[in-house]
Structures are given as C-alpha cells and as structure tokens.
Amino acid sequence: MLQRAQDLGTRVLQQQKWWILLLLVVLAVLPLFASRFVLHILLLFFLYVTLAESWNLLAGYTGYINFGHVTFMGIGAYTSLILMKDFGLSPFYTCFLGGLFAAITAVVIGYPLLRLRGPYFAVSMLSLSFIFTALAFNLSGLTEGGRGISVRPFPSKVPFYYFMLVCAVISVGAIYKISRSKFGLGLISIREDEEVADSLGVNTTLYKILAFAGSAVLPGIVGGIYGYYMSYMDPKAAFSFSFTLNSIVMCMLGGSGTVLGPIIGAVILRSMSEFVSYLIPGEFYKLLVGALFIGLILYLPGGIMSLFAGKEGSDVFAKR
C-alpha cells in the first residue's frame, strides 16, 4: 500500500517535472512582489517541511520514531547564535557548522541508543531533548542561560526565505532520491523487519546511524537560520517539543514513508491553523482545529497519501 502511494509521489515528481519547475520559479521570484507577511508564512512553511521530511527519513523509511527531533534544531540554533554573539559570525555561514554538530551528535548518541526498541528509543530521545534544554539553561557562560541569546536582527526577510526554500527543496529531493536507491531499500527493509534485513545482508547498524545522522543535518542547519530569523533564542524555544510534534503530525497527516506526505501534511496543518484562526475569534478556533484534526486521523489513519494507495501495485523498485 505504501509503495503505491510511494509510486504516486515519484510519478508526480517525474512526470510533472515542468509544473514543479514552474512552481519553483514562482517561489523563487516571489520575494520581488510578496508582502513581508506572506514571506513570513512561507518561510515558516518551508521550515516545517524541512523538519518533517527529515523526521520522515528515520521514522517513515527506517521505522525508528524520534520524540526528540527538535534536539538537532536546537543544537543548530545555539551553535549559530553563540558564534554570532561571541565572534560576530553570520549564521548564514555558521549554520552549516550547526548541521555538522547535529550530525555528530546523532552518530554519537545513535550508536548506543538505536539498539532500543520503538517506544524506548522514542522516549530516550525525548529525554535527550530535556537534557539539552537543561544544559542550555545551565551552561549560561556559553548560552546566556534562561535569559537567552539576543542578536541584532537582520533587516530583511528575503535571505531567510531563500535559505528555508532551498532547505525544503533539498529535504524533499533527498527523500526522493533515497526512496528509490539501494540505501532506501535497505532502510525500508529495516523498517519492515530488522532481523530479516540483517539476515539478508543489510548492515543495519550502519544504515540506522546514517539515517539518523541524515535526519539531523538539515534540522541543524535550519535551526541556525531560524534562530537568526527570530534574532533570539532561549532554551525553552530552541528545544521546544512543539517542533517535534509538528514534524510528527505533518508527516503522519500526509503519510509517513512517502515523499510527498510531509509536504501535504505541512500544507494541511499550516493552512488549517492560519485560516481557521482568521475565521474564528479568540481561542475558540483551536477547538475546531483539534476536532478537525481528530476527524482527519480517524478517517485516514494512514495519512492523505493512503488515499492513493491501491491494493496491488508495483513498488518503486519493481518497475520494469
């Protein structure tokens, strides 16, 4: 079932190449005439797409659920803002260092912890995010503790927009490429039955760590950019569970283990929040969002992409 939905995603990306190119061009020139507000909305949207697609790599394709996904973003945010605070370096350059640190953290922590089963791995990652939050509070010489780091805001939204757009495109592109590669098949085998994958010759330890590190890089990069965009970062914001939750929700709403799923999920969730909050005054709109949300999940537990899944269908590897 997932493979048929998978197939739709790859089919869309292959056959609708021109429409996608057009969309990208439109998005690229948008800053010329769009309002700051629109840029803000889109930029956050791209942020969430990046986070959700990254989460998708480890969860949707490899089958390991990470409740501490935000940790990588927070590492990136603090890396960039500390370097700016102490050395005046622009996060536009140092964000890559954040990505590197996030990936290194993933490798170091992944090697022992990826041996844990489902819920244990998930919650151990949650614990990790709490540890980082606490460290950010405590190492105040480095991180300014609870006060948070404030930096001089950048006068324009445009470079942030482009950065986020590029990251989102890369995240989707990477998932696309991986999902039809040998690496991707290895990951999917691990997800389907890790012991069997082992017996078939997949180096599961290596692959899991690679997927984990892969899921950490872009959040690390994007964390630095986001931190600069907000021109402020404190421990609670940097390692907030809401980023993890959003990634999970968007990925599952759209359909985990698919290329387009996280994008669809992000579109649905972001538009639901923004539009419904316009329609309904005060806080009431959240009730509707919550109810709509529950309804969606109950109706489509496999996410939107499951609508496009047939009972039989060649998976993307079996194409003649």
Partner 1 sequence: MLALTMQSLIGGLLMGSIYALLAVGLNMVFGGMRVVNNAHANFVVLGSYLAYALFRGYNLDPLISIFPLMIPFFLLGVLIQRFLIEPLKRRKAAMLTTMLVMAGVWIIIETLSLVIWTADYRFVKAPYTGTSFEVFGMMISKTKVIFSVVAAVLLALIYLFLTKTDRGRAIRAVTEDREASQLMGVKITQVTTLTFGLAIALAGAGGGLMSTMYSFYPAMADVWRGRLFCIVILGGLGSIPGSIVAAFIFGVVEALVTLYASAIWTDVVTYSLVIIVLLVRPGGLMGRQTA
Partner 2 sequence: MSLLKGEGVCMDFGGLKAVHNVDFEVREGEIVGLVGPNGAGKTTLFNVISGYYAPTAGKVRFNGQEIQGVKPFQICRMGIARTFQVPRPLLKLSVFTNILAACLFGRSEAAAAVDHRAEVERIMDFLDLNELRDTPAANLNVAQRKTLEVGRALATAPRVILLDEVVAGLNPMETDRLMQKVQQIRDSGVTLFFVEHVMRAVMSISDRIYVLNFGEKIAEGTPQQIAGDPDVIEAYLGKGVHSA
Query: Applying CB under 8 A, does 203 fall inside the site for partner 2?
Result: yes
Query: Applying CB under 8 A, does 277 fall inside the site for partner 1?
Result: no
Note the Cα 50 to chain centre separation in Å: 4
Structure tokens at 144: 């300014």
**Could you give the string, one character per residue 136-175, with x where binding to partner 1 holds by CB under 8 A and - elsewhere?**
-xx-------------------------------------
Q: How far is the CB of 300 from partner 2 (least distance, A)?
A: 17
What residues have CB less than 8 Å from 298, skipping those under 6 apart? none
Can you tell me the distance from the alpha carbon of 174 to that of 112, in angstroms, rounded to the nearest whole number?
26
Query: Applying CB under 8 A, does 188 fall inside the site for partner 2?
Result: yes
Query: Applying CB under 8 A, does 202 fall inside the site for partner 2?
Result: yes
Q: How does DSSP assign 23-70, residue by residue?
A: HHHHHHHGGGT--HHHHHHHHHHHHHHHHHHHHHIIIIIT----TTTH
Instruction: Say which entry of partner 2, partner 1, none residue 193 contacts (CB below 5 to 8 A, set by partner kind).
Output: partner 2
- Tell me the window of 44-52, 182-190, 214-222, 276-284 that interacts with partner 2 (CB under 8 A): 182-190
Q: Coil, strand, or helix at residue 149?
A: strand
Query: Applying CB under 8 A, does 298 fall inside the site for partner 1?
Result: yes
Distance set, CA 309 to CA 8, 9, 182, 300 (Å): 8, 11, 23, 12
- Which position among 128, 175, 185, 253 is part of the footprint of partner 2 (CB under 8 A)? 185
In the window 85-124, what residues touch partner 1 (CB under 8 A)? 112-113, 115-120, 123-124
Query: For 184, what's the count of Cα atoms within 13 Å in the CB-facing half-sphere?
Result: 19
With 0-12 CB in 10 A as exposed, 13-18 as middle and 19+ as buried, what is 96? middle
What residues have CB less than 8 Å from 85, skipping those under 6 apart? 144, 149, 151
Query: Applying CB under 8 A, does 204 fall inside the site for partner 2?
Result: yes
Can you tell me the distance from the alpha carbon of 42 to that of 232, in angstroms, rounded to the nearest whole number?
20
Structure tokens at 2: 């997932």
Query: Applying CB under 8 A, does 290 fall inside the site for partner 1?
Result: yes
- Tell me the window of 23-31, 84-92, 156-164, 294-302 that interacts with partner 1 (CB under 8 A): 294-302
Query: Applying CB under 8 A, does 131 fall inside the site for partner 1?
Result: yes
User: Where does this chain bind partner 1 (CB under 8 A)?
Assistant: 65, 67, 112-113, 115-120, 123-124, 126-131, 133-135, 137-138, 241, 245, 248-249, 252-253, 256, 282-284, 286-287, 289-291, 293-294, 297-298, 301-302
User: Where does this chain bind partner 2 (CB under 8 A)?
Assistant: 1-3, 182, 185-186, 188-189, 192-193, 195-204, 312-315, 317-318
